[in-house]
């Protein structure tokens, strides 16, 4: 589960104070933030001044995930994104950075796995689809075949290897 640190700025018309709040990111994150704001105001209310929260800014987040500010603080959307990164790893993060608007079903149907190289993926597919005699394998120019195939694929180099998606 991702965590973020949010800087809340409070004002009472003359004074301004800030506080840092650490919250877990999940579909109820909005409620957690509202509770933190209400608790801060209740703690600082002395009856003379009316405090209000004037801004919320994410100042720190888990490096395994994208910047929450990219989601315009839509915590439900960010929580769903974090769940998918947890489930699918860097492949989801890399694809999302490229396409933005795609769902889990599209990800799963297009993802072909993580390979050492695109050529290794092509070689694997040819081995699976065709019964190529051993004496011919050495005569196939895998680099040329891979170049032709790559027109229908997107590849992303990550820490785990090359992530391949069929477009």
What pLDDT score was predicted for residue 28? 82
What pLDDT score was predicted for residue 130? 87
What pLDDT score was predicted for residue 48? 75
Whether residue 82 is found in the same domain as residue 106: no
Which of 34, 66, 88 terminates a domain? The answer is 88
* Closest C-alpha to 55, from 95, 14, 17: 17
Please report which confidence band the pLDDT of residue 137 belongs to, taking 50, 70 and 90 as the band edges. confident
Whether residue 78 is found in the same domain as residue 11: yes
What pLDDT score was predicted for residue 142? 85
CA distance 87 to 99: 18
Q: Give the residue-averaged pLDDT of 110-132.
A: 92
Please report which confidence band the pLDDT of residue 148 belongs to, taking 50, 70 and 90 as the band edges. very high
Whether residue 127 is found in the same domain as residue 84: no
Which of 88, 110, 137 terminates a domain? The answer is 88
Where in the sequence is the domain holding 111, given as residue range(s)? Answer: 102-167
- CA dist list (Å): 123 to 9, 16, 120, 126, 156: 57, 64, 5, 5, 18
Whether residue 34 is found in the same domain as residue 74: yes
Q: Is 126 left (phi over 0), alpha (psi -120 to 50) or beta?
A: alpha
Q: What is the pLDDT of residues 70-106, one digit of tens each?
A: 888 788 889 989 999 999 999 999 998 888 778 899 9
Q: What is the pLDDT of residues 2-50, one digit of tens each?
A: 899 999 999 988 889 999 999 988 888 888 899 999 999 998 887 777 8
In a domain, 97, yes or no: no
What's the domain count of the chain? 2
CA distance 20 to 111: 39
In a domain, 95, yes or no: no
End-to-end CA distance of the chain: 30
In a domain, 77, yes or no: yes
In a domain, 93, yes or no: no
Whether residue 120 is found in the same domain as residue 160: yes
Whether residue 74 is found in the same domain as residue 151: no
Whether residue 51 is predicted with pLDDT greater than 80 in this model: the reply is yes
Instruction: Say if CB 115 and CB 153 are below 8 A apart.
Output: no
């Amino acid at each position: 589960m991702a965590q973020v640190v949010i800087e809340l700025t409070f004002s009472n018309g003359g004074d301004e104070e800030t506080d840092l709040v650490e919250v877990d990111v999940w579909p109820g994150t909005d409620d957690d933030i509202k509770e933190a704001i209400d608790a801060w105001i209740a703690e600082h209310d002395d009856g003379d001044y009316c405090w209000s929260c004037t801004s919320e800014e994410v100042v720190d987040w888990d490096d395994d995930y994208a910047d929450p500010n990219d989601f315009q603080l839509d915590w439900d959307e960010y929580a769903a994104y974090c769940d998918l990164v947890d489930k699918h790893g860097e492949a989801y993060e890399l694809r999302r950075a490229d396409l933005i608007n795609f769902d889990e079903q599209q990800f799963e149907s297009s993802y072909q796995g993580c390979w050492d190289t695109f050529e290794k993926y092509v070689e694997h597919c040819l081995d699976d689809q065709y019964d190529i005699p051993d004496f011919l394998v050495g005569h196939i120019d895998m680099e040329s075949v891979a170049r032709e195939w790559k027109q229908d694929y997107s590849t992303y180099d990550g820490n785990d290897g090359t992530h391949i998606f069929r477009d």
